[in-house]
Structure 1
Amino acid sequence: MTDAKLLHGEPGRLRTLLHAALPAVPGVNRLPGVRKRSAAGFTGLAYARTNAVVERARVDAYAAVCGFPRRDVVPLTYPHLLAFPLHMAIMGDAAFPYAAIGMVHVENAITAHRAVRVGEALDVRTDVGPPRPHARGVLLDFTTTVTAAAEPAWESTSTYLRRGDSVDGEPTAGLEVPDPPSGGIQWRLPGDLGRTYASVSGDANPIHLHPLTARALGFPRQIAHGMWTLARSVAAIENRVPDAVTVEVAFKKPVLLPGTVAYAARRDQMGWTFAMTNPKDGAPHLLGRVSVGQDPRAASRR
């Protein structure tokens, strides 16, 4: 296993994001400590945090934005917030061969082994291995393990697509959700949702914040965070999902803000399938499945 670089506490959110974005700035990307190494020979990188305390105020703020009830255990998707600074630290490390700007979050898988309590002190580690082939570039799997007293409590794999040159190998199929549910309830999403979610999550990517910053990066206007669409989808069935569970999603078309989405969920033999779609044409924004009644497994799809 790769030795992990240690982050002390949670680094400043803006500073971390800026550092991760610097390799995309012409000229600056040639400076020592910013200049990226070649992808050839990249074998992996890991960062870790110790004693990350789950704070009541932040959990409650996150729950309110994502539609979860206030409880003494955290929402299923909340530990991603503890891992996000590690994702940014990895992307900002000169040893990681790709700039953070241009990384597209395409899939996410979460396995909760048990409920995580508010007030718990947790150790968090994120590893990324060599890139995998994809038809449009490469895939990078950011695998996070959250432990308490050396026992795993929560795991996730966030898969990012980097468009461009690929690597040798045969691309593998992504997450498939056959016959996803359609229609369902409609949610009207405000234009400031990205800024609101950024304030509780620390993810202040400009594509989520304002029409001007989103257009500068190729979007007609700001878009919702993928992890918000996942969290809101899970919150809708939260009272019917056990503590030990696996949730897998594929992020499809972005959700433009302000906007309206349709959400539907259906119970099946494995657990649940769910979808967030465009109510005008049924185009999917997110497709997902929940596996219950089985032994929890690591959320890796390699």
Structure 2
Amino acid sequence: MAGPQEPSDAGQVSRSRVQLAVLPTVGALYRRALLGALPGSGSRRAEQPPTVELGVDGVPIDRGRLAAYDRVCGFRLTDRLPATFPHVMGFPLALRLMTAPDFPIPLAGVVHVGNRITVHRPIDAAETLDFVAYATNLRPHDRGRQIDVVLVGRVGGEEVWRGVSTYLGREQTPGGGERANRGDPPPAPHAWARWRLERQVGTAYAQVSGDHNPIHTSRLGARLFGFRRPIAHGMWSKARCLAALEPRLPDAYTVDVAFKLPVPLPGTVAFGSTSAGDFALHDTRDRPHLVGTFRER
């Protein structure tokens, strides 16, 4: 499965550190992105990833938000953080990086195509996290360009969590690089669960994640991006799969997913997994929405 690339330049690229006092406000960042997408905005896109990393320390874990997130995504209610929860905690920092005027790929129309999360050890709700976000590995793709946005969570200076999100910026001029896989999709693991997803999944996830992208919550917003109805957030789909796998997940593991077809809301999906740690989410015609693997570290 082709997922996010492991950052290879973490020790080679010199980045300046910008330390923030608090996490940015997501709504203001989306407004910035929309203004930057307007004709005549004057924004110039860089040809290289930004040489800056953003940091914020001492982010507490909101137990009420954690419980609401667990319910929306199907996890058990515990004080142990699901692997995907630090992603939503630190997402405003990554979004701040991606909405900078010189970020190589404009946020409007960007596609989240893959996500890799490494859990080094369980994280308890009583802990506080220090986050760092940076971008790396800008590369051509046959439909444009891809870039990895890395989010790292530390406790007391120890890295306990790392997420790598791969984003595709579709461009009119092909990038000429890595080609999308246009062959037959891999065989789906035997589907042992079918989930009926209501339209409210999009708005419920927006509330607990803080990501109110209208493509997930509004029919009009979805139509502006070419979809007939709202689509589920990719990170909700990943979280829902991990919730189904929760009894099998070790204390330390890496889970890697590639996002394929969007999940329309409402809709019905089929989930399956193998004993080796492979899993997939398909539509009722066996077309993949998501394919993934988890491996113990």
Same fold (TM over 0.5): yes
3-state SS of the aligned residue for 1:21? helix
* 1:3-152 aligned within 5 A: 3-27=16-40, 29-30=41-42, 35=43, 37-152=44-159
Using a 3 Å threshold, how does the CA distance of structure 1 residues 75 and 42 change in structure 2: closer, same or farther? closer
Shift of residue 82, structure 1, vs aligned partner:
1.9
Shift of residue 283, structure 1, vs aligned partner:
0.3
- For this pair of structures, how many residues does the alignment match? 281
8 A Cα contact 1:106 1:159, kept in partner: yes
Name the CA distance, whole Å, in 2 between partners of 1:222 and 1:42: 31
Using a 3 Å threshold, how does the CA distance of structure 1 residues 172 and 114 change in structure 2: closer, same or farther? farther
Q: What residue ranges of structure 2 are gaps of 5+ in the alignment? A: 1-13
Using a 3 Å threshold, how does the CA distance of structure 1 residues 255 and 232 change in structure 2: closer, same or farther? same
Using a 3 Å threshold, how does the CA distance of structure 1 residues 43 and 84 change in structure 2: closer, same or farther? closer
Name the CA distance, whole Å, in 2 between partners of 1:205 and 1:196: 12
Name the CA distance, whole Å, in 2 between partners of 1:108 and 1:200: 19
Name the CA distance, whole Å, in 1 between partners of 2:28 and 2:209: 15
Name the CA distance, whole Å, in 2 between partners of 1:45 and 1:104: 22
Report the identity percentage.
40
8 A Cα contact 1:21 1:99, kept in partner: no
8 A Cα contact 2:48 2:104, kept in partner: no
Shift of residue 21, structure 1, vs aligned partner:
2.7
- Please list every run of at least 4 consecutive aligned residues from structure 1 whose deviation after the TM superposition is greater than 6 angstroms: none
Mapped pair 1:284 → 2:288: yes
8 A Cα contact 1:252 1:284, kept in partner: yes
3-state SS of the aligned residue for 1:158? strand
Using a 3 Å threshold, how does the CA distance of structure 1 residues 126 and 41 change in structure 2: closer, same or farther? closer
Shift of residue 6, structure 1, vs aligned partner:
2.5
3-state SS of the aligned residue for 1:61? helix
Counterpart of 1:162?
Answer: 169
Q: Deviations over 1:161-218 (max 9, x none)?
A: 01114557x52788x9954404321101111211110001011111001111111221
- TM norm structure 1: 0.88
Q: Deviations over 1:112-160 (max 9, x none)?
A: 0001110211111111025111111111100111111110100010000
3-state SS of the aligned residue for 1:237? helix
Shift of residue 226, structure 1, vs aligned partner:
0.1
3-state SS of the aligned residue for 2:274? strand
8 A Cα contact 2:65 2:208, kept in partner: yes
Mapped pair 1:249 → 2:257: yes
Give the RMSD, CA atoms, in angstroms: 2.0
- The one-letter code of the counterpart of 2:257 is V
Name the CA distance, whole Å, in 2 between partners of 1:232 and 1:41: 34
Using a 3 Å threshold, how does the CA distance of structure 1 residues 41 and 91 change in structure 2: closer, same or farther? closer
* 1:178-189 aligned within 5 A: 179-189=187-197
3-state SS of the aligned residue for 1:249? strand
- TM norm structure 2: 0.89
